[in-house]
A and B are shown apart, each in its own frame.
Chain A
């Protein structure tokens, strides 16, 4: 892939979806989109750019491209320290704050293949705090294919690699020697949806949330769009609601009204109450 082709694709993805693939990702972009070239029988990336931009199936192909480019490798109970803070600090705080309505809404923004929203439901159950509450976990992603996998709730060992045997027994049913399915009662509170986070119209259709998980998603956005997405997330939170980002992410250099709070050694963002 020439520098020119990379730049043209970079601009196209940024224009269409607000995603910015930095030059250091060129190798990955080239490898992953190479699969698409093979499928479409195109000879080079210039032709692929033309296809994405001009071909009547370009829009469809854009989704396929995003699907391979945004393959976010994830698994159940990822980033245990942060989840521990969520369980020990955030959930009791939400329990107290929402006691009157007994209604709790979480959002897994960029849920990929579903491991994160199901993990959240499992943690809510483990906390024992929300037994009779009306609990919903909204789970959205830009990839329809990822959402299809998420809805099936059926996973192999890769997704379960840090899930203890005790948790596996408690939250999953074995469907084959290698695969486990999330127990049906744990899939009930999860509502999946196809949302591009830069699309305010779509984001606005979601209700106000008490806590948003948006881990390892903002890194993909061009700074201007990142600001916009952070603002959308802010607006989708109730006052006092929390935003949890990925371990290596923060909102430095992103102007936002979030304030940060230190809970149990973890850095969380909060919409001021």
Chain B
């Protein structure tokens, strides 16, 4: 154990030393006189120190001496770390380093010429295209490859033309490099040069990917042909890279391409699981075109990695109820085997596409699935809008974990079959009064539920009383005022809050006189609900009370009061100013947004740029983007310099861009 402790200490000590060296390098003044010291630091054993040295050197004025010293590191050392740091320095120096690098590209050793080409690519300065094009004829293959890659970063007409010509190079590696560079540049390509490369094994994948990007009238036909050839895996890449939407004609062509291929379903199943995003996308498009429901489970799995979720969902929806059946049919149902994104996307598709044809499958899933799937099945059963879903939902109402989902399902079903659903719920309520079943019953049976609601409002369980009060909006006027009055003095804050909420939904004649009592409640939750109900009733006579509540130290109460005041007839500056200094950042953000259209609001947003919370700074930047004048740019730039949060930086930069154009 002791030795372990000692080791840990040594590592920690070493960390401290490295950190000290890095700080020393950062403290070196960025002037030409310091260049030798900084150049020496490029040889440091630690990458963080070398990185700091490269960044500091790049800040030094690039005099010929400075450049020569850095180029010397690049060209004369076998130390890989130092060489990479020198390359990084030159990349950061940028255009001033182009001329000496171009010289090095002509005169250096094989390795040095290669590094020079790579750094020129990193600098991506248009003027270096000519020398790089020249380097495409270098005697060394590696230099030619690096030059082609660099041209792919620089772009321009000359670079595109040279890369097009390179497609005819005898070396496959150069062809691939040219294809990848042209794809990166999104440059036009002469189709006759591309076609032979579709058939050659080394270049096939890159060639198809580029073909997909081309938008050439003949390109889609070539991809379709490729999908039935030995190169079909590569052709999928092309289909994945295809940028335009696929109309019915294109989908017909895709379908036709698979007409004679015996194993396309099995092949697509495998392809949908590939790691390459474009291959998966291609497979997904082909699956949709084939309209093969059996592929639904594999299609769901194409969402792995999290980057294709929405696209996969859309594709599953295109397969319709057949696709849903394929996800649910079998033992065990394929959806049970799905995990993570695949399961999330499949669940969503089932929920959206459920129709009467899958009731029995959903019923089975509700019994056989794990808790997520049982819950899904209960919700989806409601959406089938089928009377056959009624019995399984009624059964689920008695199962604790499912009763909430079942009640929601029944509520949806109740819009189509109110009396049937109400009858089922009534039977359940006679056995035991469950809060969500009561709410569903009231939603479906509306004023006919009055008696049941009044009874439940006196139940011993406060959750049931709360549900009854929340359902009061449906019960009609008989006994309504008495029920709400009693609820507002209930011993349970939960019930009082439900009553305060209900006051926003029942007729004003009943609600308005009771609002005062709710606003004066000692519980923050009740006050917050009451504030919102004031707004819903448009009861502006309560404005003074709301202004008082807006100054409450409780965030939720202040938030609700601000929202209510805003929806009544706006907020005055004094209230907004007070809210901007509230301790709850949510209140501050809301106050900033509500005050966005006033001069004072812009001032408050400018001050909020230094708020300790990133999301408040973001809210302030959004206000400035909408309402501030160009003068605010100074403060925005200052905030940008100080900003350490990536997301906040993004929003601040967007705001600065908007103001620059204003």
Contact = CB atoms under 8 A, between A and B. Distances in A.
Interface string B477-497: 000000000000000010001
Given A148-B401, A257-B4, A178 B306 contact: no
Interface string B329-372: 00111001101110111011000000000000000100111111
B341 A28 contact: yes
A54 B344 contact: no
A178 B367 CA distance: 7
Nearest to B309: A27
A157 B343 contact: no
A158 B336 contact: yes
Given A156-B369, A157-B331, A161-B332, A53 B344 contact: no
Nearest to A160: B332
Interface residues of A, number: 38
A161 B497 CA distance: 46
Contacts of A55: 525, 528, 556
A183 interface: no
Interface string A7-45: 110000000000000011111100110010011000000
A7 B647 CA distance: 9
A186 B375 CA distance: 27
B368 A156 contact: yes
Nearest to B312: A27
Contact of B586 (A53, A149, A161): A53
A3 interface: yes
Nearest to A29: B344
Contact of B370 (A7, A31, A35, A113): A113
Contacts of A158: 332-333, 336, 368-370, 373
A3 B348 contact: no
B561 to A, nearest CB: 13
Contacts of B307: 24
Task: Name, among A26, A149, A158, the residue most crowded by chain B CB atoms within 10 Å (CB to CB).
Answer: A158
B306 A27 contact: yes
Nearest to A32: B344
Contact of B303 (A23, A27, A32, A73): A27
B555 A56 contact: no
B404 interface: yes
Please tell me the size bucket of the interface on B.
35 or more
A148 B408 contact: no
B310 A27 contact: yes
A77 to B, nearest CB: 15
A26 B303 CA distance: 12
A127 interface: no
Interface in A154-185: 156-159, 161, 178-179
Contacts of A35: 375, 379
A71 interface: yes
A132 interface: no
B349 to A, nearest CB: 11
A247 interface: no
Nearest to B373: A158
A156 B370 CA distance: 7
Given A54-B586, A148-B401, A158-B368, A31 B524 contact: no
B326 interface: no
Given A27-B303, A31-B348, A54-B555, A149 B401 contact: yes
Contacts of B404: 39
Interface string B370-411: 111101000100000000000000000000110010001000
A54 B370 contact: no
Contacts of A71: 370-372
A172 B337 CA distance: 22
B648 to A, nearest CB: 9
B371 A146 contact: yes
A42 to B, nearest CB: 13
B615 interface: yes
Contacts of B341: 27-28
A202 interface: no
Contacts of A26: 306
Interface string A52-91: 0111110000000000100101100000000000000000
B625 to A, nearest CB: 14
Task: Name, among A38, A50, A146, the residue most crowded by chain B CB atoms within 10 Å (CB to CB).
Answer: A50
Nearest to B367: A178
A28 B647 contact: no
Contacts of B306: 23-28
B110 interface: no
B367 A179 contact: yes
Contacts of A149: 371, 401
Given A27-B344, A71-B372, A156 B367 contact: yes
A243 to B, nearest CB: 18
B503 interface: no
Contacts of A53: 555, 586
B618 interface: yes
B344 A56 contact: no
A55 B367 CA distance: 35
A24 B331 CA distance: 31
A146 B372 CA distance: 10
A145 interface: yes
Given A25-B306, A50-B559, A158-B336, A56 B497 contact: yes
B332 A27 contact: no
Contacts of A57: 525
B539 to A, nearest CB: 22
Nearest to A158: B336
A39 B408 contact: yes
Nearest to A22: B306
A68 B347 CA distance: 13
Contact of A73 (B309, B372, B375): B372
A56 B524 contact: yes
Interface in B604-662: 615, 618, 647, 651
B344 A31 contact: yes
Interface in A220-238: none
B100 interface: no
Nearest to B619: A4
A268 to B, nearest CB: 20
A23 B336 CA distance: 25
A146 B401 CA distance: 9
A27 B344 CA distance: 8
Contacts of A161: 332, 336-337
A31 B312 CA distance: 13
B510 to A, nearest CB: 22
Contacts of B523: 56
Interface in B307-329: 307, 309-310
A54 B584 contact: yes
B305 interface: yes
Contacts of B400: 148
Given A28-B306, A145-B401, A8 B615 contact: yes
A56 B525 contact: yes
Contacts of A3: 647
Given A145-B371, A161-B336, 13 more contacts: A23-B306, A28-B306, A28-B344, A31-B309, A53-B555, A53-B586, A54-B584, A54-B586, A148-B400, A156-B367, A158-B332, A158-B373, A161-B332
Q: Give me the 7 closest cross-chain CB pairs, A-B, nearest first.
A: A27-B309, A24-B306, A56-B525, A54-B556, A156-B368, A71-B372, A31-B344
5 contacts: A7-B615, A54-B584, A68-B372, A74-B370, A113-B371
